[in-house]
Amino acid sequence: MIKPYERVAVLYDKEEWGKFSLKYLDILNDLKNRYNFIPNSILDISCGTGDLVNELSKEYEVVGSDISAEMINVAKKKYPHLIFYVSDMVDLSLENKFDLILSPFDSVNYIIRQNNLERAF
> Domain locations in the chain?
9-120
More confident residue, 58 or 108: 58
Mean pLDDT of all residues in 11-24: 68
> Which pLDDT does position 87 carry in this prediction?
93
- Looking at the predicted structure, is the pLDDT value of residue 8 above 80? no
In tens, the pLDDT along 42-74 reads 999 999 899 999 999 999 999 999 999 999 999
> Which pLDDT does position 109 carry in this prediction?
79
What predicted TM-score, i.e. pTM, was given to this entire model?
0.83
CA 45 – CA 62 distance, rounded (Å): 11
Task: For residue 108, give the nearest of 38, 20, 4 by alpha carbon.
Answer: 4
Second-level CATH architecture of 9-120? 3-Layer(aba) Sandwich (3.40)
> Which pLDDT does position 13 carry in this prediction?
64
Does residue 87 contact residue 65 with C-beta atoms inside 8 Å? yes
> Which pLDDT does position 51 carry in this prediction?
92
